[in-house]
Amino acid sequence: MKKLLILILAVAILLSGCVDKTGQTGQTVKNGDNISVDYVGSYQDGKVFDTSIESVAKANDLFNPNAPYEPLNFTVGTRSVIEGFDEGVIGMKVGDTRTLTIPPEKGYPVDPSRIQVSPIIQELPATSVIPRVLEVPTSQFEQIFGPNHSVGDTVTIPDTNINVTITNMTPEISLKYNLIVGSNIWDSRAPWNETVIKIDDKNITVKPKITKNEIIQFQGAPFNTTVIDVNDTNITLRHNRIPDKRITVPGMFGQMEDMKVSFNETSVIMDRNSEVAGKTLLFNITLRSIDK
């Protein structure tokens, strides 16, 4: 009996020592702690949008083979995560699971500067004017056309049928359009072709080649557009409604970013805010470790 009691005490001491080594028994999260958490982020309708857990990602069609799927590590109170998440872990113990409800103001508020609103019915001038000579920085010219050009060389603007001739190379490259009245211009990025209707010493006037009721496509737009009127002064367009859609577009610095396109009664709304912006978010989190 005595040997059994000694054995039980020894096991208890051993287990106690193992717990002490973690340094985490009974400790709660405070500002300044380095912690790790597993999380599942969802909208109020239950749709999961992000997680640190591979099985959850696979179950919700979010799996990314390049993602690490490991606990999120951060220092509490440094705002390296969104405010509501940072505040929500305070007081947790290792092994605790908690659901955080985070409103937009403590998560991802909407940035109005990333929203562009255009009228569904849009009027454009029936003609446009371009300078007869185009001035281009040398670095930009060489990026497009390559080096080792001379005055008198003729080059073609990429993705168009427009030829220009170099008339000067210092301090910038001067390019003169090789166009005459009646020239037809096409550009693969434009929704229509154009015709040159006037040329003077300084400018070239062009007019779109479109007709009433024609359906056109602006580059990158997920919707098409109908020409509802054409006269000598204006072109009137109607952008045709589609269901809300998220597309990928180039950002300001060339990176690709998401954009939501939606319609209301009068406008087309192009919103470059992330999908989580402006929404109340739910995070189910489990504290994995605390490093004081």
Q: Measured over all CA atoms, what is the biggest interatomic distance in the chain, rounded to whole angstroms?
A: 114
Residue 47 falls within a domain, yes or no?
yes
Q: Could you tell me which residues are beta bridge partners of residue 249? A: 257
- Indicate if the pLDDT at residue 37 is higher than 50: yes
Please check whether residues 68 and 207 belong to one and the same domain: no
Residue 87 falls within a domain, yes or no?
yes
CA atoms within 13 A on the CB side of 277: 15
Please check whether residues 99 and 173 belong to one and the same domain: no
Please check whether residues 256 and 287 belong to one and the same domain: no
SS3 1: coil
pLDDT at site 250: 82
Q: What are 101-157's pLDDT values in tens digits?
A: 999 999 999 999 999 999 999 999 999 999 999 999 999 999 999 999 999 999 999
- Round to whole Å and give the CA distance between 130 and 165: 16
Please check whether residues 263 and 119 belong to one and the same domain: yes
Tally the domains of the chain: 2
CA atoms within 13 A on the CB side of 287: 28
Sign of the dihedral through C-alpha 275, 278, 280, 285:
positive
Please check whether residues 43 and 126 belong to one and the same domain: no
Q: What DSSP character marks residue 252?
A: T
Please check whether residues 70 and 148 belong to one and the same domain: no
Please check whether residues 146 and 38 belong to one and the same domain: no
Domain encompassing residue 129: 115-271
CA-closest candidate to residue 100, choices 84, 116, 79 = 84
- With beta carbons less than 8 A apart as the criterion, state whether 86 and 77 touch: yes
Residue 233 falls within a domain, yes or no?
yes
- With beta carbons less than 8 A apart as the criterion, state whether 62 and 50 touch: yes
Q: What DSSP character marks residue 160?
A: B
- Round to whole Å and give the CA distance between 202 and 157: 20
Q: What are 198-253's pLDDT values in tens digits?
A: 999 999 999 999 999 999 999 999 999 999 999 999 999 999 999 999 999 887 66
Please check whether residues 249 and 142 belong to one and the same domain: yes
Residue 3 falls within a domain, yes or no?
no
Residue 10 falls within a domain, yes or no?
no
Please check whether residues 130 and 245 belong to one and the same domain: yes
- Round to whole Å and give the CA distance between 166 and 169: 7
- With beta carbons less than 8 A apart as the criterion, state whether 154 and 163 touch: yes
- With beta carbons less than 8 A apart as the criterion, state whether 206 and 194 touch: yes
